[in-house]
């Protein structure tokens, strides 16, 4: 008997376990705690994500890669995605050439202030004509790019690149008409990533980009352009974030949604051309090295999700003009995933996953419903604002943690500095409120401190002392800690000798029952004008404020900054 036969025989000796048996075991572990509260999370689109998915959660998708509705990919043969990196006058010609020689497939130009043929010629000096030049969304330099091709003798049919015209611009038809004789030129962009920068959820980003795509088709139809040819001139731009499953499911759902629009418009086999960019909202100025991890996860998710082109932001992009190291790592992140990890070798590797398929379905349904509401006149901006506010609350309470910023900050990190760069309009970076606190603390003549009045032995107080130290560091404040004090009087005396104007009482709930009131009173008698307690609010203890898991960290730290005069 072979190994496979032996395995099958062994498996046959066990009864198949079903969801009911699994739930019975889960209920034993939960001990009466509500299942939905403990194990089920909900996305900002109201989609519940379960801890377990089975075949009963997904009916199955009979489609194949390269076939409508293109959920499983735009082509049946797969292939490598285009490595497209962003440049502009802030990086300069030398950086562009370094990227091209280092393996970048295409260059995206952010040309604020550059609109002439001469400007583009200087920026692209030495760049081979075979390298596509894509203008960033909203660019008004299409005429200059066409002029550059003419100056360099590039035949109309051989030109490669994109005009970056906003798909919702009513005059987009003129750009499409200009590009019809250039099969490798993309005329317009439906920029969903712009909505994500403003705080949109995945379904809102999908619905908004879909609405822009439909507006684009209407404009082309009015211009007398065949819709099939027009669809081939449109690219969709999506944000890739740190939640790899939401990112790849979003890209899969986007292709399905656009296929439905194309079908309704009578367009045959219109697969959606996708450009994924690592989300600007997730980038941080503090501990920017963590951005390398964020962008790697996002790039991987975009590749697995089937993006046709990907742009990875340099780790220092949120600080200012990226340096050569930032540009090189951004480029090599893609090249390592593509050329060494061969992520593109498997078409739709997440296909068949009950979780991913269910998430794709749910996103497509939610986005289509919202798209219909937008077509009926609903406001997308109001919904995005509400989602952004909900996400901001989660950031403030650290339900949505930001490594290196709101969790595990490094007070002694070397601040990375870069030349300033024009900010991205409408971008709401999640880390900004915390970074403002760190900046204020760093600007003080000396590092602000808070004394930890820890009661009892280390084993008793260490959990809350560590929590308080980490929370203080988030605001740029150093904790003055000891091994723990046996009595409230000892803690108050040590505070008086510390020189800090604030104290945080830290210990276990059991110790609080016996000593919290006395500790707060002793600190006040010693002259401490602001006493916090690490634990849930309880009026019995008499503290001025409380810091606890799930509390609003920004509110607590801002109040503390005010007391410290920062």
pLDDT digits (tens, 9 = 90+) for 107-137: 999 987 777 899 999 999 999 999 999 999 9
Residue 152 host element (H or E): none
What is the residue-averaged pLDDT of the chain? 93
Q: How confident is the model at residue 55 (pLDDT cuts 50, 70, 90)?
A: confident
pLDDT, one tens digit per residue, over 390-434 is 999 999 999 999 999 999 999 999 889 999 988 888 999 999 999
Q: Give every CB contact of residue 269 below 8 A, 6+ residues apart in sequence.
A: 68
Nearest-CA neighbor of 219 among 178, 168, 270, 266? 168
CB atoms within 10 A of CB 243: 18
* Residue 154 reports pLDDT greater than 80: yes
Distance, in Å, from the CA atom of 69 to the CA atom of 375, rounded to the nearest integer, reads: 22
Best CA proximity match to 307, nearest among 352, 279, 347: 347
- pLDDT beyond 70 at 8: no
Distance in angstroms between the alpha carbons of the first and the last residue of the chain: 76
pLDDT of residue 6 exceeding 70, the answer is: no
d(CA 149, CA 185) in angstroms, rounded, equals 12
Q: Say if residue 441's pLDDT is above 90.
A: yes
> So what's the pLDDT on residue 77?
83
Cα-flanking dihedrals φ and ψ of residue 456, to 5°?
Answer: 90, 180
Separation between Cα atoms, residue 117 and residue 127, nearest integer Å: 15
Residue 15 has pLDDT above 80, yes or no: no
Specify the DSSP class assigned to residue 336.
I
Angle at 352 between CA 351 and CA 358, to 5 degrees: 90
Residues linked to residue 48 through DSSP beta bridges, in sequence order: 42
Q: Compute the distance between CA of residue 299 and CA of residue 335 in angstroms, rounded to an integer.
A: 11
> Could you tell me the pTM of the whole model?
0.93
Instruction: Give 190: exposed, middle or buried? Use CB within 10 Å, 0-12, 13-18, 19+.
Output: buried
Tell me what pLDDT residue 9 has: 66
Residues 6+ apart with CB under 8 A from 416: 285, 288, 316, 319
Contact predicate 294/314, CB 8 Å: no
Q: How many helices (H) and strands (E) does the chain have?
A: 20, 15
Whether residue 76 has pLDDT greater than 90: no
**What is the per-residue DSSP string for 352-391?**
T-HHHHHHHHHHHHHHHHHHHHHHTT--HHHHHHHHHHHH
Integer Cα distance of 500 and 515 in angstroms: 22
Share of the chain above pLDDT 90, in %: 81
User: What Rg do the C-alpha atoms of the chain give, in angstroms?
Assistant: 28
Q: How far is residue 240's CA from residue 309's CA, in Å, rounded to a whole number?
A: 12
Gap between the Cα atoms of 540 and 538, Å rounded? 5
Q: Evaluate if residue 98 carries a pLDDT over 70.
A: yes
- Per DSSP, what are the bridge partners of residue 240? 278
CA–CA separation, 338 vs 83, rounded Å? 9
Q: Does the pLDDT of residue 1 top 60, yes or no?
A: no
At 222, the pLDDT band (50, 70, 90 cuts) reads very high
Which of 253, 476, 208 lies closest to 356, judged by CA? 253
Instruction: Find out whether 155 and 130 touch, Cβ atoms under 8 Å.
Output: no
Q: How far apart are CA 264 and CA 260, in angstroms?
A: 6
| pLDDT tens readout for residues 245-287 | 999 999 999 999 999 999 999 998 789 999 999 999 999 999 9
Q: Convert the pLDDT of each residue in 297-323 to its tens digit.
A: 999 999 999 999 999 999 999 999 999
Q: At what angle do helices 93-101 and 324-335 cross, to 10 degrees?
A: 30
Q: Collapse the DSSP code of 264 into the 3-class scheme (helix H, G, I; strand E, B; otherwise coil) and give the result.
A: helix
Domains and CATH numbers, the chain: 82-375 (3.20.20.240), 444-564 (3.40.50.280)
The kind and range of the H/E element at 460 are helix 458-474
Order of all β-strands in the sheet with 545-547:
478-480, 449-454, 502-506, 530-534, 545-547
Q: Is the pLDDT of residue 58 over 90?
A: no
Average pLDDT over residues 229-247: 97
Q: Rounded to the nearest 10 degrees, what angle do helices 244-264 and 354-375 cross at?
A: 50
Distance in angstroms (rounded) separating the CA atoms of residues 549 and 399: 9
Q: pLDDT at position 4, please?
A: 60
pLDDT of residue 10: 65
CA proximity to 320, closest of 422, 434, 405? 422
Long-range contacts of range 259-268, CB-CB < 8 Å, 24 or more positions apart? 259/68, 259/69, 259/70, 260/69, 260/368, 261/210, 261/213, 261/214, 261/217, 262/231, 263/68, 265/217, 265/227, 266/227, 267/227, 267/228, 267/231, 268/228
Could you give the percent of the chain with pLDDT greater than 70?
A: 98
Instruction: Dump pLDDT digits (tens) for 507-564.
Output: 999 999 999 999 999 999 999 999 999 999 999 999 999 999 999 999 999 999 999 9
Q: What is the pLDDT of residue 339?
A: 95
333 near 295, Cβ under 8 Å? yes
What's the mean pLDDT in 362-374?
97
Pair of tokens at residue 278 = 């690592």
| Torsion angle of C-alpha atoms 50, 54, 55, 56, degrees rounded to 10 | -60
Phi and psi at residue 234, in whole multiples of 5°? Answer: -115, 135
Q: What 3 state SS string does 282-312 have?
A: HCCCCCCCHHHHHHHHHHHHHHHCCCCEEEC
Q: Tokens standing for 372?
A: 């219909």
């Amino acid at each position: 008997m072979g190994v496979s036969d032996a395995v099958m025989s062994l498996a046959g000796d066990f009864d198949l376990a079903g969801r009911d048996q699994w739930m019975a075991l889960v209920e034993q572990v939960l001990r009466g705690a509500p299942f939905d509260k403990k194990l089920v999370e909900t996305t900002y689109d109201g989609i519940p994500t379960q801890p377990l998915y089975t075949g009963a959660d997904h009916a199955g998708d009979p489609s194949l890669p390269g076939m409508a509705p293109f959920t499983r990919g735009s082509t049946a043969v797969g292939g490598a995605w285009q490595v497209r990196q962003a440049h502009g006058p802030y990086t300069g010609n030398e950086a562009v050439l370094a990227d091209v020689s280092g393996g970048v497939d295409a260059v995206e130009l952010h040309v604020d202030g550059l609109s002439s043929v001469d400007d583009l010629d200087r920026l692209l000096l030495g760049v081979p004509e075979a390298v596509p030049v894509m203008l960033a969304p909203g660019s008004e330099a299409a005429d200059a790019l066409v002029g550059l091709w003419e100056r360099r003798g590039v035949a109309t049919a051989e030109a490669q690149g994109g005009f970056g015209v906003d798909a919702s611009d009513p005059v987009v038809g003129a750009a499409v008409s200009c590009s019809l004789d250039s099969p490798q030129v993309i005329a317009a962009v439906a920029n969903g990533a712009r909505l994500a920068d403003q705080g949109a959820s995945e379904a809102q980003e999908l619905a908004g980009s879909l609405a822009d795509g439909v507006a684009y088709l209407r404009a082309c139809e009015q211009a007398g352009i065949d819709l099939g040819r027009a669809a081939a001139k449109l690219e969709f731009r999506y944000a890739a974030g740190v939640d790899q499953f939401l990112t790849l499911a979003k890209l899969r759902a986007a292709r399905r949604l656009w296929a439905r629009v194309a079908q309704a418009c009578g367009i045959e086999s219109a697969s959606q051309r996708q450009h994924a960019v690592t989300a600007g909202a997730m980038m941080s100025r503090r501990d920017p090295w963590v951005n390398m991890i964020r962008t790697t996860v996002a790039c991987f998710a975009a590749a697995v999700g089937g993006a046709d082109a990907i742009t990875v932001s340099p780790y220092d992009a949120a600080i200012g003009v990226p340096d050569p190291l930032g540009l090189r790592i951004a480029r090599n992140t893609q090249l390592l995933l593509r050329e060494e990890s061969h992520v593109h070798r498997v078409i739709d590797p997440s296909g068949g996953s009950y979780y991913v398929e269910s998430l794709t379905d749910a996103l497509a349904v939610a986005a289509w419903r919202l798209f219909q509401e937008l077509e009926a006149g609903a406001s997308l901006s109001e919904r995005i604002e509400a989602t952004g506010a909900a996400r901001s609350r989660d950031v403030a309470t650290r339900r949505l943690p930001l490594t290196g910023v709101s969790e595990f900050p490094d007070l002694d990190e070397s601040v990375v500095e870069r030349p300033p760069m024009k900010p991205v309009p409408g971008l709401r970076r999640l880390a900004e409120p915390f970074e403002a606190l760190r900046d204020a603390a760093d600007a003080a003549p000396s590092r602000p401190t808070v004394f930890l009045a820890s009661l009892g032995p280390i084993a008793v107080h260490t959990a809350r002392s560590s929590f308080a130290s980490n929370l203080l560091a988030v605001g740029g404040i150093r904790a003055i800690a000891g091994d723990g004090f046996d009595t409230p009087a000892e803690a108050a005396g040590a505070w008086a000798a510390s020189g800090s104007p604030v104290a945080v009482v830290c210990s276990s709930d059991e110790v609080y029952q016996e000593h919290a009131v006395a500790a707060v009173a002793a600190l006040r008698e010693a002259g401490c004008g602001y006493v916090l307690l690490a634990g849930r609010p309880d009026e019995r203890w008499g503290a001025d404020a409380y810091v606890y898991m799930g509390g609003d960290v920004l509110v607590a730290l801002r109040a503390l900054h005010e007391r410290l005069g920062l």
